[in-house]
Structure 1
């Protein structure tokens, strides 16, 4: 098992992609590492490491990562897999954010922009995240994405198929939002 003090710096920011993945998975369940991971994210530039850091942060459920995720998603200098991971991170947090908040609006804006990204991976992840909003006004946007039949290399499915799943998820999450008053 990886421990923060002895293994994190060498494992998560090392050069071995398999070790980065193992470290990210181990740290994904340790919410006490959020601040450390955010600090590493500020200085680390390697794509695999940035993606691993974001992966671990996604599972912390910490709204303090919201702005970081939005910023990374919207930054065209970031690698597609890093931007896709940021979109995934937002998808896990949407149910904790009110739909009438500026945070919600900013994230939705960045995700809608990502729907035009040249990378099918980014589009796929953005579609998924929009489905996690539970916000019915986004259904037409997702319906439009049903026309994007681009497969994602190494993944199962297309952007179009994910858009169909996202619409179903959005509708179910909307019912939850109504029930919870969000």
Structure 2
């Protein structure tokens, strides 16, 4: 745990990956996140929380995503949390709508990394009405630093994923 709050990026990443599997650390990680201001440390904490998959953090993650004072790396990790947890949230819920609205707003972000992460998360919704927004992002050929490909290539992949997720949702219900 102490490595998450240190300055050694390698140790931070290793600790974050180890904590992904230990859901009992969620309360401690949330306390760390509340007090931590450094970007890399916040990202590492959010990474571990993402894999805990607690829907209780949904509103927190949406708030971080919407907070333009947060670094794109941190906001992108919040978008990744949403991406992995969208299958657990009903498409007709308030939580779903609020998250989707925040992601649609993030498509306009000046950071290509943020747009890339938003496109990725929207693809995980399994919600066909979002296809036009993803289709528009096919025009954005900006490379996303730290990611493989461009916003456009991720939009293309996300459109395919959205359709696949929609099939799963259709079989399981809303």
**Residue 4 (structure 1) aligns with:** none
Equivalent residue, structure 1, for 2:35: 43
Q: Separation in 2 of the partners of 1:47 and 1:28?
A: 19
1:38 CA drift (Å)? 1.1
1:17 is matched with 9
Correspondent of 2:19 among 21, 27, 30: 27
Match of 1:168 in 2: 160
Equivalent residue for 1:78, pick from 70, 73, 77? 70
Structure 2 gaps of 5+ residues are none
Cα drift, residue 155 of structure 1 = 2.6
Partners of 2:110 and 2:123 lie apart in 1 by 20
Deviation at 1:36, TM superposition (A): 1.1
1:122 corresponding residue in structure 2:
114
Task: Report the Cα offset of residue 65 of structure 1.
Answer: 1.1
- Which residue of 2 is the match for residue 97 of structure 1? 89
Aligned mates of 1:69, 1:98 — CA distance in 2: 17
Q: Does residue 62 of the first structure (1) align with residue 54 of the second (2)?
A: yes
Once residues 93 and 148 of structure 2 are traced to their aligned partners in structure 1, the CA distance between those partners, rounded to angstroms, is 34
2:136 alignment partner, one of 122, 141, 144: 144
Separation in structure 1 between the aligned mates of residue 147 and residue 94 of structure 2, nearest angstrom: 33
User: Which moves more between the two structures, 102-111 or 28-37?
Assistant: 28-37
Deviation at 1:138, TM superposition (A): 0.2
Aligned residue pair count: 174
Distance in 1 between the 2:118 and 2:158 partners? 10
Q: What is the deviation of 1:152?
A: 1.4
